[in-house]
A and B are shown apart, each in its own frame.
Chain A
Amino acid sequence: MLVGRGLTVGARLLGVDLELGPGAGLGVIGRSGSGKSTLARALVGLEPELAGSLTMAGRELVGAPRAAWAELRARVQLVWQDPATALDPNLPIRRSIAEARLLARRDRFTRDDPRLAALLERVALGPELLDRLPGALSGGQRQRAAIARALAAEPELLIVDEITSALDRPVAWTIVDLLRSLRSSGIGLMMISHDLSFLPGTVDRVLVLADGRPVEAGPVATVLAAPQAAATRALVDAAPRL
């Protein structure tokens, strides 16, 4: 269980509370600059100014030595917005996956490891793509490779930061469907998205940020159907509809 209380990063994130247990599904929404990505980075130890309290299985991480954060990063994996820059352009996908396992202190996959085959099947990535560089993959394939890299660390919680925003909508929906299947397999998910249509069915609860502050939280269907905060209403009103 990852528990944050009063999470604050300078003036960019101000007093966020959250709980992410096994199998949790939390959506985080807000306008650009509202603090969504800062929150994601803070939860994996990439914001040195983080204040407040963040505990993993009861152990405090704010102010803890680097070793404590290293253990957390194996259990909580972040998938970035732009897979073109998130994956090392000089590493074939196979080596990116191997690197993720090394950093998470997991044993190495052998070349024909059935666990590797199962991982690829899980993210619907063809094995023929393993030895390609990220630049030789389409946007959707790159994002699947980035998710495979994150899953290779065998995390309990996946944080995905606008991972569909660089994709066209049919491809984006295939990624959302993948996230739903991962959640149903027991992985916790924190999904940052400014596209509200992806959230129902993917996460259970939603947290709305505005100017770094939490302004609304609740079940996703309730928040989107009857938004209370002005920031939430603006997001709901701006969603495109046919």
Chain B
Amino acid sequence: MRVDGLGCTIDGRTLLEAVSFSLSGGEALAVLGPSGAGKSLVLRCLLGLAPAQATVTGTLFWDERRVPLADRPALARLRGRGLALVPQAAAASLDPMRTVGQQLREVCVLHGTDSRPRERLAEVGLSHEFVDRHPHALSGGQAQRVALALALACRPAVLLADEPMASLDCVSQAELVDLLVKRCAAEQVALVLVSHDLARVARCCPRAIVLDRGRMVAHGPLAELLAAPPDPTTAVMVAVARRG
């Protein structure tokens, strides 16, 4: 997958400008930046889910295909088997009226994948008893694992994870990041991990792009960005991560 020149404007305001990156199967890329940098908007644009009034420009190169990022129906067709999302607020993304098992089966039917909820849950470290639970009976960490199971149940080529550990305690954060990386590596799924926490993603993502106010201010191997931050935004993120 290659994203070339992604831009997004709303009411004349430029929210994203010339964001470009590429990744291949099983690779993990971190999308870093402060709040309001446009990290989540990048994911929404790739999924064809930018706000209705937004004008999106740029091109997604997908295998041999060239998909304009303004072509929402074409992007919608990539959702599921192409690109799947693990949202930030997992609990809010689940249907409160239906059990975890029902939601997993629905995703598998929609995307024509193998429907075995118990195995899907086992892959994310949840026992079979979670099949019959409703979202209100899940902890934050469990809800996030269910959201990951739902995304992986699509059997996507690329997993987009939007600050999936933001509301979890540090033990759950570490466990979830480990799980994300292991599952993606095991299934050769490319991972785009959005985070504002450089220290948390430093060990699991070999490459990163850094956004600030919608512009890509740095990109490259994360080790190089840490060793020699090329711009003030990255320098602040590195300094803060070193502070703790």
A interface vs B, CB < 8 Å? 30-33, 138-139, 165-171, 173, 194-198, 234-235, 237-242
Contacts and interface: CB of A to CB of B under 8 A. Distances in A.
What's the dominant secondary structure at chain A's contact region? Answer: loop
Contacts of A234: 171
B202 A242 contact: yes
Nearest to B33: A168
A71 to B, nearest CB: 34
Interface stretch (B16-24, B65-73, B162-170, B184-192): B162-170
Given A170-B236, A171-B35, A240-B199, A235 B241 contact: no
Interface residues of B, number: 31
A168 B36 CA distance: 10
Most buried by A among B168, B169, B173: B169
Given A167-B35, A197-B243, 12 more contacts: A31-B169, A31-B171, A32-B139, A168-B34, A168-B35, A169-B237, A169-B240, A170-B34, A196-B170, A240-B170, A242-B202, A242-B242
Contacts of B198: 169, 242
A169 to B, nearest CB: 5
A40 B241 CA distance: 28
A160 B34 CA distance: 23
Contact of B196 (A168, A196, A238): A168
A242 B35 contact: no
Most buried by A among B35, B139, B166, B237: B35
A239 B169 CA distance: 10
Interface string B168-180: 1111111100000
Contacts of B12: none
Given A138-B35, A197-B244, A169 B171 contact: no
A33 B174 CA distance: 17
Most buried by A among B36, B175, B196, B237: B196
Nearest to A171: B35
Given A138-B35, A138-B36, A32 B168 contact: yes
A242 B196 CA distance: 14
B139 A169 contact: no
Contacts of B226: 242
A240 B139 contact: no
Interface in B214-244: 226, 236-238, 240-244
B105 interface: no
A197 B170 CA distance: 11
